[in-house]
Structure 1
């Protein structure tokens, strides 16, 4: 197949348009990359030296002015920044900057790996994983940089806004959908400059983990959506003209996402629907929950079936994916992964014996032993898999999140800013409850969120004065864009750990099903990875082997 670059296709398309439709982006001239403006980085790849060109740039023509002093990057209890710690920025543009690494020999057809961070949907500074003198290998299951460079791909890393950052004027510029807008602006920057550096902006592969996985899936689902143009115009993104029209696109070729934290407006319901029986039985790693927590769990669980059923999803075999079939679908995915590892020679302990599990975290590796009270393997195949036992097993590897799991600030006895709430609300508000339960149960007077302060329940608030809150939720949710006129990535690689309790398995299966149903999507490669907790980039050989395959078909 003859490969034609997006730059060539775009030039041909624009040449055929009326002159009035060809107004360039308001900041395009300032955002043009000088191909000679690079530094040289030398790394070691598979024991041999490799020279890279590094281009560093601000990808927004009108970047947000940031305060020099920012909250610390280190996480405190509950996943929020440690409140007492601050950091001083060396570069106040770091949240809207990118670094492009071009390996020797990269061609104009090479894929571009767009690596995003944003763990917990927090802001992410530009902190490249590619560093001078770094050592990388191509055959590791945890070294995506080595795999990408060995394949000749261009590796792009970005900083982006997110919750937890402060602007120079004291406001909070990382509210939703800032991270999505910034990723789209970076993509547009690559498109604008596709003609001056190796690599193809027609083959952008966005990848991330956790909040970064969620961000990646939103970008992959919402390509070219006009809903983001006002936000892109505000920061001076490439290709956005003064009249608000666009001459560039921001869709991507593929997404590789791990443990995506997404569908936040329904994630609490999905979590309790899956785990409510475990909580009520008091069999989690941290014991019995409070009466308030138990009541909230039951209320949230009751709301999920109607939402799930309203999506009209189907499984890969065409059967409906509903509240009545979701747990059996989860069982099937777990069994499929068990069969995979059995075929690879993994030994599964007998019923009643212990699984020896290695948990990897910021503090290193921890070994735990958890009884197998859910899985029976006979003659090298799954003979019995009990879903309730499996869910209990998951909760013994890591304690369940508090109730609610995501929108927990200022309700249900929870104190402090501890959920994803800081992602939502106005730039001058610390947080906002973003679900009907969280909003209606808000118990902190004077915080500007909830019925207690507004006199309106969630439905009334978001239908009127608080419509912007509903829009924030929609613009960070891939489910709101799949199946619409937005251009979805044709190729999806989605992974979630088999013992990852950070979000409901139902959220991940629903996302995969929604992607499969989108007319733009050609393939969805989804799995629950063996004995893996909340993590990413643990199956690099499989992921980048899959990517090589889909690239070869184009």
Structure 2
């Protein structure tokens, strides 16, 4: 299905009852200014229902139709009482009140909680003047050690170049257009909350990194607590919060879903001044999540280890790749996961076949079936490794890997020996901008650290950042509804990451909707209309 780009046209046509001067971070701002706040600034967690501006926007939806939406917009609100950085620890709220001239009552609508994180960079709403304007900040800090550019692991293909800002929720559709989930959600009659959060590149005047792990997830949890604390004041159903995110934002969305009300975050949330409320969410939607970082290097080599050349033209050390594949096999066996559709135990010996039959061949089948007869014939002539018979696509694992081509990353992909990966920076601490977080990465360090053990705080940080940690403990506060997506040509990570998430959650009895997009890369979303329909279905919402 072809999805058109979203048109963005936002005009102020009125203002709510509250107007005047509020302060954010010590700066006085008018409530009518584009960067103003509601009456609930630092020091208070009470949402002011009247502190909105009234706006209009025309949104092109997933089916190509246009909708004129009138909505109430709350400018940046600080969601903790002890903010470290009000440029990032704030959120905006958008509530539809009229769609195509028809009044909308969103008082009990699902709340789409859309984070804009990419590459574990900061996300901000400080300049947002309307829905879908939150941004990912790829600047504001030094690159990690090792002399690399600091380009992160896993940015959506629509993301900006380093040094610019981008929107992680502006994903690509099958036709190469843009998909803005916050705007599509608004056009569907849902309440939209877009939170900012700290990220790995932020430093204070003394050079301390204050946005590294677990800052981002702490901030997102605090934002959820703010929403739930304001039940009855903030529009929407606070029991039906649906988190969305892409890439590292997808990882954080998955973590938010898996770790609801986990006590291991309490000290961090208390320090931030988070509301005394639940941070559990109803559903988690995660596109190409860059997660399970301590095992991601092995999963990457399992899938892409035979792709000996990177997109840069550089070769891959096959000894390192083999070592990491061995570590993957050990970890996968320890997980004791069972595949979907009665596949059985998932091991390194059969995971390629599992991906083929459960995800890859169905993805190719769906794609080919959507083409016209002539377009399908042309595609199959160019991709002779696919057998098309009886309306079904089949092929081998080796042919699939060859079809994907050169991999994006070196080995290791995430815990780089020279500390150059964005994830190394994500585990930075104090004035140390990048650290190893796996024993294998540390053992092969090329920066001259000389350390024999990982820093003592790393195991805790890994637990704080990994949804699989909470899923493995059957966290009772986890979300029970999951939407998981990744492109089959995405070599920013490994398809194993999404497949393991789906298998682990399904094993707990959760509602899991997972599939892969054929021939799509990182940050793709070719079924946004289906996602919007899914929210309505699982939440029980009817307009």
TM-score by length of 1: 0.75
Question: Quick one: which of 466, 485, 497 aligns to 1:495?
Answer: 485
Separation in 2 of the partners of 1:352 and 1:152? 41
Equivalent in the alignment of 2:381: 353
Equivalent in the alignment of 2:94: 101
1:254, distance to aligned residue in structure 2 (A): 0.7
Separation in 2 of the partners of 1:491 and 1:141? 26
Equivalent in the alignment of 2:238: 201
Distance 1:110 1:49, change over 3 A: closer
Higher helix share: 1
Mapping for residues 445-524 of structure 1, pairs under 5 Å: 445=448, 450=449, 452=450, 454=451, 456-457=452-453, 461=454, 466-484=455-473, 485-519=475-509, 521=510, 523-524=511-512
Equivalent in the alignment of 2:130: 131
Is 2:454 aligned against 1:432?
A: no
Equivalent in the alignment of 1:322: 347
Equivalent in the alignment of 2:531: 543
The answer to whether the 8 A contact 1:106-1:198 is kept is no
Equivalent in the alignment of 2:181: 144
Distance 1:107 1:418, change over 3 A: closer
Secondary structure of the structure 2 residue equivalent to 1:495: strand
- Which segments of 5 or more consecutive residues in structure 1 lack a partner in the other structure? 1-26, 66-92, 240-247, 355-371, 412-416
Secondary structure of the structure 1 residue equivalent to 2:496: helix
Q: How many residues align?
A: 444
1:538, distance to aligned residue in structure 2 (A): 3.5
Separation in 2 of the partners of 1:97 and 1:348? 48
Separation in 2 of the partners of 1:112 and 1:47? 19
Distance 1:432 1:501, change over 3 A: same
Equivalent in the alignment of 2:369: 343
1:419, distance to aligned residue in structure 2 (A): 3.6
- More divergent stretch after superposition (165-174 vs 229-238): 165-174
Secondary structure of the structure 2 residue equivalent to 1:401: coil
Separation in 2 of the partners of 1:49 and 1:114? 19
1:530, distance to aligned residue in structure 2 (A): 2.0
Separation in 2 of the partners of 1:266 and 1:542? 31
1:155, distance to aligned residue in structure 2 (A): 0.7
Secondary structure of the structure 1 residue equivalent to 2:348: coil
Distance 1:145 1:443, change over 3 A: closer
The answer to whether the 8 A contact 2:301-2:321 is kept is yes
- More divergent stretch after superposition (141-150 vs 426-435): 141-150
Equivalent in the alignment of 2:522: 534
Is 2:387 aligned against 1:376?
A: yes
Distance 1:114 1:103, change over 3 A: same
Is 2:400 aligned against 1:390?
A: yes
Equivalent in the alignment of 1:10: none
1:103, distance to aligned residue in structure 2 (A): 1.2
Separation in 2 of the partners of 1:132 and 1:304? 42
Distance 1:373 1:306, change over 3 A: farther
Mapping for residues 8-407 of structure 1, pairs under 5 Å: 30-45=44-59, 46-65=66-85, 93-104=86-97, 105-126=104-125, 131=130, 142-239=179-276, 248-279=277-308, 289=315, 293-318=317-342, 319-332=344-357, 333-345=359-371, 347-349=375-377, 353-354=381-382, 372-382=383-393, 384-396=394-406, 399-407=407-415
The answer to whether the 8 A contact 2:425-2:433 is kept is yes
Equivalent in the alignment of 1:75: none
Equivalent in the alignment of 1:83: none
Distance 1:163 1:286, change over 3 A: closer
Separation in 2 of the partners of 1:437 and 1:418? 15
TM-score by length of 2: 0.76
1:268, distance to aligned residue in structure 2 (A): 0.5
1:516, distance to aligned residue in structure 2 (A): 1.2
Q: Per-residue CA shift, 1:77-127, capped at 9, x if unaligned?
A: xxxxxxxxxxxxxxxx12101001111133332111111122011111226
Distance 1:303 1:348, change over 3 A: farther
Separation in 2 of the partners of 1:63 and 1:120? 23
Separation in 1 of the partners of 2:347 and 2:128? 41
Separation in 2 of the partners of 1:221 and 1:107? 27
Q: What is the root-mean-square deviation in Å for CA atoms of aligned residues?
A: 2.6
Secondary structure of the structure 2 residue equivalent to 1:256: strand
Secondary structure of the structure 2 residue equivalent to 1:30: coil
Q: Per-residue CA shift, 1:388-416, capped at 9, x if unaligned?
A: 110111125xx4311211111517xxxxx
The answer to whether the 8 A contact 2:417-2:442 is kept is no
Secondary structure of the structure 2 residue equivalent to 1:403: coil
1:343, distance to aligned residue in structure 2 (A): 3.5
Q: Per-residue CA shift, 1:107-156, capped at 9, x if unaligned?
A: 3321111111220111112267773899x9xx998242343122211111
1:278, distance to aligned residue in structure 2 (A): 2.8
The answer to whether the 8 A contact 1:337-1:529 is kept is yes
Distance 1:193 1:530, change over 3 A: same
Equivalent in the alignment of 1:364: none
Secondary structure of the structure 1 residue equivalent to 2:74: strand
Distance 1:142 1:538, change over 3 A: farther
Distance 1:324 1:110, change over 3 A: same
The answer to whether the 8 A contact 2:94-2:131 is kept is no
- More divergent stretch after superposition (313-322 vs 470-479): 313-322
1:187, distance to aligned residue in structure 2 (A): 0.1
Distance 1:349 1:167, change over 3 A: farther
